[in-house]
């Protein structure tokens, strides 16, 4: 393997790690192993700290393929709690409002989910990496500043209810680049005439790369020791 020329790695991002944490771990281990001070390493698609799952890491010249991977279809398993909202649409922030759920049935949830299939518009979360006048939305939101984001067009290829234990539901979503599952949880809550927020998220697939193909970052050192490596500085 030649990480300077370019390799592609599939990792399972751990809970609470940022996407940058995964990249930094891989870069640090590779630089130490290859005895180099710098190595180009990047990831193809950010995952929130409270999400886990498939992360594609590219090194060297393979970083030119990042955009290609970003545009591939993604699959998620999402846990959503109905009847309460948070400013971040997930567990990063405390609950800021509660809503009635007595009128919601599992059949009604199934009906509402079908309305999200296909080409839809979605307003990204204020707590997101979207840029406003060159600044990250989450930086403005965390300062308490008003964040006005425009709707984005995206495609939901598949959406299904996997489990319904009201007020908690689990769904599977297959979607295009740019889909915020947190925002989808928000919109599902509103469509159910209630509120909702994300309580768990796993990215199970990017293109043809499935979660079972991914290694844990903590096992990366051991895996690397078993590879035949080229480009090591003497």
Give the residue ranges of DSSP H helices in 61-165: 66-70, 106-114, 137-142
Q: Which tokens in the block code for residue 217?
A: 């970052």
What values do phi and psi take at 9, rounded to 5? -120, 145
Cis peptide before 232 (omega within 30 of 0): no
3-state DSSP assignment of residue 16: coil
* CA separation for the pair 158, 205 (Å, rounded): 13
3-class DSSP state of 5: coil
Which residues are catalytically annotated?
48
């Amino acid at each position: 393997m030649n990480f300077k020329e370019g390799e592609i790695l599939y990792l399972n991002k751990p809970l609470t790690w940022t996407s940058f944490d995964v990249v930094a771990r891989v870069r640090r281990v590779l630089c130490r192993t290859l005895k180099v001070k710098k190595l180009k390493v990047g990831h193809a698609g950010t995952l929130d700290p409270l999400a886990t799952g498939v992360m594609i890491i590219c090194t060297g010249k393979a970083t030119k393929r990042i955009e290609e991977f970003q545009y591939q279809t993604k699959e998620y398993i999402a846990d959503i709690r109905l009847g309460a909202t948070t400013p971040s649409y997930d567990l990063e922030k405390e609950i800021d409002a509660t809503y009635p759920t007595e009128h919601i049935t599992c059949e009604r949830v199934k009906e509402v989910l079908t309305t999200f299939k296909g080409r839809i518009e979605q307003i990204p979360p204020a707590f997101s990496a979207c840029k406003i006048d060159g600044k990250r939305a989450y930086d403005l939101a965390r300062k308490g500043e008003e964040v006005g984001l425009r709707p984005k067009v995206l495609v939901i290829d598949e959406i299904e209810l996997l489990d319904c234990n009201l007020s908690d539901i689990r769904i599977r979503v297959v979607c295009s680049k740019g889909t915020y599952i947190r925002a989808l949880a928000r919109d599902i809550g509103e469509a159910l005439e209630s509120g909702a927020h994300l309580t768990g998220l796993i990215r199970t697939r990017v293109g043809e790369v499935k979660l079972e193909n991914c290694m844990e970052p903590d096992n990366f050192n051991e895996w690397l020791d078993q590879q035949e490596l080229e480009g090591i500085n003497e």
